[in-house]
Amino acid sequence: MTPRDKLVIYLILASAFVVMLNETIITVAIPRVMADLKVEAADAQWLLTAFMLTMAIVIPMSGFFMRRFTSRQVYITAIAMFCLGTLLAAVATGFELLVLARVIQAAGTGVMIPLLMTTIMTLVPPHERGKMMGNITIVMAVAPALGPLAAGLILNSFDWRWVFWLVLPIGLIALALGIWKMENISETARVGIDVISIPLSAIAFGGLVYGLSEIAAAVRGEVPLQPWIPIVVGLIALALFVWRQLVLQRRDAPLMDLRTFAQPGFPVAIGLMAMTVAVLFGSIVLLPLYIQDGLGYEPLVAGLAVLPGGLLQGVAGPFVGRLYDRVGPRPLLIPATILSSLALAAFATFLGPDTQIWTVIVIHVALSIALAFTFPPMMNSAMGSLPPKLYPSGSAVVGTAQQLFGAAGTAAIIVVFTIGSSGALAAGDTAAHAVVAGTHIAFLVAAFASIGSIVLASFIRRPASELGGHEPANDIEFPEGMTVAH
């Protein structure tokens, strides 16, 4: 790679770290926001829900943005929106403005990871992509893990608005560097945007993510709208969205190009990603709940307990990427998925009402190591199977799968936990013992479900472009009856 290429990649990488840090930094500040702006807990959760829904809507459209506009335009617009949202959040005098600010922040954040993945696939030679994909793990693992801790440290001395004031200068520096140094690295196409696909995409992915995220609250009777309603509406919209994209592909003008799934290796890698995100990310949500309500520790302890695993996962990412460049995906994925299943089984076995906190940390570190050895080869195998023409849509599919199946996995695990803990309470157990009982059965179900990841990992193959061959051709083969005009 040229020095220019490296500068572009690391600029986007650093910016993605900042915006992903912002995704979780607000969580610790919510109680302060509630007290200051005089809002109830149900309303305050929209600071998280609005961000999540905006991401679910923007990420599927990111492929179109990266085909229609230059990488420089996409980057500067995304960072500018993030800075604008951060500024509005810092000066917000009312709750409605604060929620709007979070929506604007999320609109910029949603484009950044797909842009980073597409840039790496475009600039990095096939035999070096594993190392660079490993750097994405730093963004995906370390930034969200540091968010709550950083907010806790800020709130010890400052008002909640400083959570945004201290992030804003970093965003402005990234914007200034982008205007000064960011160069275009991809070609654009004059593709029109389909006015039917946009609302279908928003209703489909927004409805599914919202409905799935509300299932646990519905089990406790805490939501005004039953989650099956947005889920059913989302599924209908998703079917219509898929049909619409298949129609638009005949003119080479889809919002999200589904020909990615026709490329050898891509569907298996996405299936593995979906199962890994669903089982593992859903399970990780349980740990802070268990540490606080099951063991009786403070929230800060819960955050510190999962921090070593998150940091280790990020630090190991580049090393795993280099190893991938040498040995390929299966020697890494199969042991990693086995370790994931064993770690989940260990949680189900060893987490009790009197478990030492160091036991939780050790098992979580093992789970984090498994994640570190899973994501770089999995993402590289998925994206490496695509022709360059499909990089933007492929990165949009990867990001959408993470959002959608992360919500699905979290919903499923929390429902199992709620059922288990409710049964323990009905049997006369204390609240703490009920939390432990729910945690046990939830991790047990997750351990059994994760066996599917081991099976899928055995089918992952190294992309042909990394075996000394050429990149997949831009001329894409279609199922019988489907054609495209270039």
Give the pTM.
0.81
Report, as an integer, the average pLDDT of 215-234: 76
CATH class of the domain whose range is 257-486: mainly alpha
CA dihedral 67, 73, 74, 80 (to 10 degrees): -160
Over residues 385-418, the pLDDT tens digits come to 888 888 888 988 988 888 888 888 878 888 888 8
Report, as an integer, the average pLDDT of 148-169: 85
Report, as an integer, the average pLDDT of 83-102: 93
Token match 């109680």: residue?
A: 31
Whose CA is closest to 73, among 81, 93, 223, 195?
81
Over residues 327-366, the pLDDT tens digits come to 889 999 999 999 999 999 999 999 888 899 999 999 999 9
Packing angle between helix 46-68 and helix 95-123, nearest 10 degrees? 40
Q: Which CATH number, 1.10.150.80, 1.10.600.10, 1.20.1250.20, 3.90.330.10, labels domain 1-183?
A: 1.20.1250.20
Question: What percent of the chain is modeled with pLDDT above 90?
Answer: 27
d(CA 97, CA 100): 5
Tell me how long the chain is: 486
Report, as an integer, the average pLDDT of 446-460: 91
Whose CA is closest to 8, among 63, 75, 67, 61?
75
Over residues 136-158, the pLDDT tens digits come to 777 777 777 777 778 777 887 88
Domain range summary for the chain, segments of one domain joined by +? 1-183, 195-256, 257-486
Report, as an integer, the average pLDDT of 45-57: 83
DSSP structural state of residue 470:
P
Angle, CA 199 vertex, CA 194 and CA 200 arms, to 5°: 90
Domain 1-183 and domain 257-486 have a common topology: yes
